[in-house]
Amino acid sequence: MADLDPPLFDPAAFRLTPRQAAIVEKARHLGQSVFSPRAAAYDREARFPTENYRDLHEAGLLGICIPEAQGGLGADYQTYAIAAAEIGRYCGATALSWNMHVCSTLWSGPLVDDLDLDPQERRAHAARRTAHYARIVRDGAIYSQPFSEGGPAAAGAAAFETRAVPAAGGWIVSGRKIFASLSGHADYYGILCTEAAEGERASRRNTLYLAVPARAEGVSVTGDWDPLGMRGTVSRTLLFDGVFVPQDAALMPRGVYVQAASRWPHMFLTLSPTYVGLAQAAYDFTIRYLRGEVPGTPPVRRRHFPTKQIAVAEMRIKLEQMKALWFQAVTEARPNPSKEQVLRAYAAQYSTMETAHDIARLAIRTCGGQAMLRTLPLERIFRDSRCGALMLPWTAELCLDRIGREALYEPGETDEAAG
């Protein structure tokens, strides 16, 4: 086997513990040696990376954020984020969809542990999540996170239209989710929906996070899937038509999602690691291509041109800036972050999503026409990297909105009050 690429974040330089470095190394090894050769076919056929998920299960990575005492690897937020960036380097669609799966354990685990719950509720939640974790560790169950509905809810601006009406032993769920990554392939769809009795007004405070069994009666997948990028995520439309969902399906206790969204905002930064990996992949490709080291390509003899050297330098500077900001932001993930930390998290998300595509664009311009053929990974990286800025709730536009507003106004402040 070829030598492993150097790590995205050198453990000594970035002060990772040996335990963190070992988990990240496991992800990098799998990414480079197994996922990278498969990535082109998943992309071409817009097919879900089923084989990769089997390997993630075998390597223990489906349970990366599940506590060791419950059979997982016990990774914290930062360790997961760096491992996900390593996977994104080799297969963007696997990393992005894996993020949806891992968040079901991260959000129901360390995030909930950091929030306010009464002791009885906490005990009931611990029992429920133990059952979810056992399915993942033991059976390789895959969870997804279909939140988007095409309306304002996924941006945090309104209650989810998907409804959960209380019923004996659980809820009756009805609604529709668009862009549901892993549709048709996940075993449980971790939906956000609004708990409301018939005729009751929907409120964001009543958001529930429920793991709907994919095989439950009334669940269906619809629409085709032939997008620009991230084709292996298979993000089709999900329909829920009067689906009975039992009480033990709750991934967070009542009311906790809204508390998490305001007190643990870095929960929304977890879509970014994939794109850190894609940025590194575009840069690595460019270096290898200009050095004549990409298998199957002719020796290009271009690296002596100053324009090539300057382009590579620009790409390196953008990559270093993005990685430094991103690493700092993921290191600051915690409950009740300061205003500075929240602004930095938005800036990291914006910078990662925009810079990844910018580096991929520069890579294509710098390497030239022969490098953008479909036989090489660069054009896939270019298309995949375009998708990052569109991911709600922290799209590139919404990050700009929030940074501008929150930098200029303190919470509750209005122009009238300020005079």
Which residues are near ligand FAD by CB under 6 A? 100, 145-148, 150, 152, 154-155, 157, 179-181, 230, 233, 235, 387, 390-392, 395, 397-398, 401
Are the CB atoms for 146 and 238 separated by under 8 Å?
A: yes
Neighbours of 379 (CB within 10 A): 18
Minimum distance, C-beta of residue 150 to ligand FAD, in the bound complex (Å) = 5
Place of tokens 């026409």: 369
- Pick the closer one to ligand FAD by CB: 28 or 357: 357
Nearer to ligand FAD, 189 or 289 (CB): 189
Q: Indicate the residue among 284 and 384 with the shorter CB distance to ligand FAD.
A: 384
**Upstream peptide bond of 295 is cis (omega within 30 degrees of 0):** no
Beta carbon nearer to ligand FAD, 162 or 286: 162
Query: With respect to ligand FAD, which residue has the nearer C-beta, 145 or 206?
Result: 145
Helices 18-30 and 77-88: crossing angle, nearest 10°?
Answer: 20
Nearest distance from C-beta of residue 399 to ligand FAD, angstroms: 9
Going by C-alpha positions, the residue among 320, 374, 365 that lies closest to residue 10 is 320
65 versus 230: smaller Cβ distance to ligand FAD: 230
Looking at the Cβ atoms of 349 and 366, the one nearer to ligand FAD is 349
**31 and 86 in contact (C-beta within 8 Å)?**
yes
Q: How far is the CB of 374 from ligand FAD (least distance, A)?
A: 19
CB of 71 to ligand FAD, least distance (A): 25
- d(CA 328, CA 10) in angstroms, rounded, equals 14
- Which of 65, 52, 214 is closest to 137 using CA atoms? 65
Closer Cβ to ligand FAD, 136 or 398, answer by number: 398
Q: Number of H helices and number of E strands within the chain?
A: 14, 7
Could you tell me the smallest distance in angstroms from the CB atom of residue 183 to ligand FAD? 8
Amino acid at 158: A
CB of 357 to ligand FAD, least distance (A): 13
Between the CA of residue 194 and those of 18, 149, 173, 200, 249, what are the distances in Å? Answer: 42, 12, 9, 11, 15
Using a 10 angstrom Cβ sphere, with 0-12 exposed, 13-18 middle and 19 or more buried, the burial of residue 407 is exposed
Report, in Å, the least distance between residue 42 CB and ligand FAD.
13
CA–CA separation, 110 and 105 (whole Å): 8
The CA distance from 249 to 247, in Å, is 5
Q: What is the DSSP string of 139-189?
A: H---EE-----SSSGGGTSS--SSEEEEETTEEEEEEEEEEETTTTT-SEE
Pick 151 or 292: Cβ nearer ligand FAD: 151
**Whole-number Å distance between alpha carbons of 278 and 280:** 5
Minimum separation from the CB atom of position 292 to ligand FAD (A): 34
Min dist CB 168 to ligand FAD, Å, is 29
Asked if residues 46 and 225 have their Cβ atoms less than 8 Å apart, the reply is yes
Cβ nearer to ligand FAD, comparing 24 with 111: 111
What is the phi-psi region of residue 242: left when phi exceeds 0, alpha when psi lies from -120 to 50, beta otherwise?
left
Q: Provide, rounded to whole angstroms, the least separation between the CB of residue 267 and ligand FAD.
A: 13
CB of 53 to ligand FAD, least distance (A): 15
95, 235, 125, 115: which is closest to 178 by C-alpha?
A: 235
Q: Which among 2, 95, 1 is positioned nearest to 288, based on CA atoms?
A: 2
Nearer to ligand FAD (CB atom), residue 154 or residue 210:
154
Contact in structure between 363 and 279 (CB atoms under 8 Å): no
